[in-house]
Amino acid sequence: MALKIGFIGLGIMGVPMARNVVTAGFDLLVFNRTAEKAAPLEELGAKVASSPKAVAESADVVILMLSDIQAIEDVLHGDDGVLAGMPEGKALVNMSTVSPAYTQQVADTCAARSIVYVDAPVSGSRKPAEEGALVILAGGPEAKIAEMEPLFLTMGKKVVYCGEAGKGSSMKMAVNLLLGTVTAGLCEAVNLGQKCGLDTETILDTILAGPMGCGLYEIKKPMIIEGSY
């Protein structure tokens, strides 16, 4: 039997991720606090739920892609929350970027209710989300993650099993640390070149032509040249 997927959170990342799920043929039910954001997905065949509880009651797997901890708390708890409608044995997948400590808190809450919990934050931004080229950093029961790999691969190009619940969020923190470090290094290099009188575009072309060239710098290049962040 095909999995019924619930998707909560239709922001910059959530909309393209949910679009890739429904266009891959999954039965998709979505919810967003700003209801009009669900319209493009409804046109593609997704159903729109009236509440997080309604999503949890109908779906085999509920995915959260939300902005922060407070947003997650708001959709999980209360009379209309996910936890009020989710039966035992179903799976909750949090793809939002949150701290490992909070991830473990949610995992404990789910375990007490016999709900399978997977933390699966993503490495990548809007363009990889649109292209289905995210890297899924998954923590939780290995067999369950393997079972859901076809679902994850509608949204990403690779699924990395990181360990028990919480390890996906830990991996995301490590990746984000490197992301911040290399971006700061790029900016320092460009700043030095500019102060030496070098053309900004020439600096970036030089960096990208050598062994330090990477996709991240390609994304940042037009922003730096235009001064648009």
* The token pair that represents 78 in the structure block: 């209360």
Q: Nearest 5°: phi and psi at 75?
A: -90, -20
What b/e readout covers 81-91, taking b as 16+ CB neighbours within 10 angstroms?
bbbebbeeebb
Closest Cα to residue 96, out of 124, 133, 69?
69
Residue 134 burial (C-beta neighbours within 10 Å; 0-12, 13-18, 19+): buried
Catalytic residue among 172, 195, 220, 221: 172
The helix or strand, by DSSP H or E, that contains position 130, with its residue range, turns out to be helix 126-131
DSSP label of 34:
S
Compute CA 24 distance to the chain's CA centroid, rounded to the nearest angstrom. 17
Contacts of residue 145, Cβ cutoff 8 Å, sequence gap at least 6: 118, 120, 138, 152, 159, 161
144 tagged catalytic: no
Cα→Cα distances 182→215, 216, 228, Å: 12, 9, 19
- What type of residue sits at position 167? K
CA distance 92 to 71: 15
Q: Cβ of 213: how many Cβ atoms within 10 Å?
A: 14
**Active site residues per annotation:** 172
